[in-house]
Amino acid sequence: AMHHRTTALTTLFLLLLAPGLSTAQVEESNAIESLRETGKAFASVARAVSPSVVFISVEGSREAPAFAPDDFLRRFFGDQFPGTPRGRAPQRDNRVFGQGSGFVFQTDSGLVSDKSYIMTNNHVVQNADRITVRFQDGREFQATVTGTDPQSDVAVIEIDTDDVTPLPLARSSELEVGEWVVAIGSPFGLRSTLTVGVVSATGRTSIGINDYEDFIQTDAAINPGNSGGPLVNLNGQVVGMNTAIFSRSGGYMGIGFAIPIDLAKSIANQLIDGGSVSRGFLGVSIQPLTQELAESFGIDRNEGIVVAQVSKSSPAERAGVEVGDIIVGYQGKSVTDTGDFRNRVALTPPDSRAELTVLRDGKRRTLKVTIGALDDAGSVAQSDGATARELGMAVQTPTAQMAEQLGIEPGEGVLVTQVTPQSPAARTGITPGTLVLQVNRKPVNTAEAFYAAIEASANNRAVLLIRSGDSQQYVVLNW
């Protein structure tokens, strides 16, 4: 209402000041003025934020290379990405060079005397022997790694100065689709570059870039070298950290991803406090609630996720979680997405108490669980393990209800629930819904038995007996 009133007053003022102007000319003038004000807003953000954004150059060994932007894109998007961008330092001897962005951020405890912390992506500084950061004003510092977390792709580095201004952090949980955002960084080594766009989506959890994902999707241009730079709102507050693009050419194609600052901040502060991240452990394998599964369980399709497996002696088993439970709530908030649930469990401090709400036999139950600590071999709450990622497929032990629905005998094989496109499993012809009866001529009837048989296979090769519909055949799986 205030905007319309202001526009009307401006129009009236212009008509009184220049009665010869037509209404169309006045409206055009108003539109230009509005654009001018929008441009001023972006310029104001740039002035406030750019002094705290850094260009990061790294040097590492060829055997354990530091991040290079094209290497990162090839890792996720194949070999279509073109060659080394112009301006990249050439490789020589046994050294490789890479670059990225970062920003000084406001930590929970504030800045330590004579030290500042910079947030960036793990893939920017991973395995780097030498890290140099350069500010907009030309100052350069040698940085050391405070801590890295490859699973979320968050890292913190530190420099020996407190003569820099940390950027304030917003609450990314309050970010709305359609909001203006500004990405600042050093794409292709071009320092202090600003691009603008809007929030296209939030809560992107199945992209396949990191182990723990909750991306903000934006159409603000993000290119190689932007990684680690801030995504900020019009108040100059950081809402996310730029991390990747979706591209078939290697250049920006309209979709960029940023790690929400709520997640990045939680991890960064743990890295500062202890140099590593402690994650909560529940001990279940989960899968999305498909329409068919929902109908078989007799529940609303949009409510919850399915427990496909409960690890022995895990916090979940001790709390009474059972295979076939539908998890509909965690800590008083609804659960509808497997990735979001994994993140929420992982961010729960170990040894703390949590409430898990499940549907079992059509009845809602609240279970009290003491969250454990995730170690390298544990599973937070996931649909596959390291072996499953190598194969590009995840399996589960069919419940009695599933067995009846599929027309199989209980204990007959394991059900394939997920297959990654272009993976070894996909190339073999395995699809979701396939039943795996044998691995290397031995029956498997639980997910644990399947993965154990795969891990025991020699030369990354296994012979599977599979059934799809009425067809049963042997296939050779190589990974």
Q: Is 227 a catalytic site residue?
A: yes
Name the helix (H) or strand (E) containing 154. Answer: strand 154-159
Query: How many beta carbons lie within 10 A of that of residue 107, not counting itself?
Result: 19
Catalytic residue among 52, 57, 101, 153, which? 153
Residue with tokens 């454990």: 372
Instruction: Find all residues with CB under 8 Å of 13, minimum gap 6, and list them.
Output: none
User: Which letter does DSSP use for residue 434 in this model?
Assistant: P
Q: Are 61 and 98 in contact (CB under 8 A)?
A: no
Where would I find the beta strands (DSSP E) of 220-332?
A: 230-232, 238-245, 256-260, 280-281, 284-288, 305-310, 326-330
Separation CA 226–CA 123 (nearest Å): 12
For the record, the structure tokens of 455 come out as: 């891990």
Separation CA 123–CA 67 (nearest Å): 6
Separation CA 148–CA 142 (nearest Å): 17
What is the SS3 assignment for 246? coil
Closest among 225, 218, 206 to 258, alpha carbons compared: 218
Q: Is 123 a catalytic site residue?
A: yes
Q: Are 293 and 306 in contact (CB under 8 A)?
A: yes
Phi, psi of 255 (to 5 degrees): -130, 120
Catalytic residue among 116, 227, 247, 423, which? 227
Instruction: Find all residues with CB under 8 Å of 254, minimum gap 6, and list them.
Output: 219
For the record, the structure tokens of 161 come out as: 């100065």
Catalytic residue among 123, 186, 200, 384, which? 123
Q: Are 184 and 238 in contact (CB under 8 A)?
A: no
Give the C-alpha distances (Å, rounded to integers) separating 206 from 151, 277, 324, 340: 14, 22, 23, 10
Q: Is 50 a catalytic site residue?
A: no
Tell me which residues are annotated as active site: 123, 153, 227
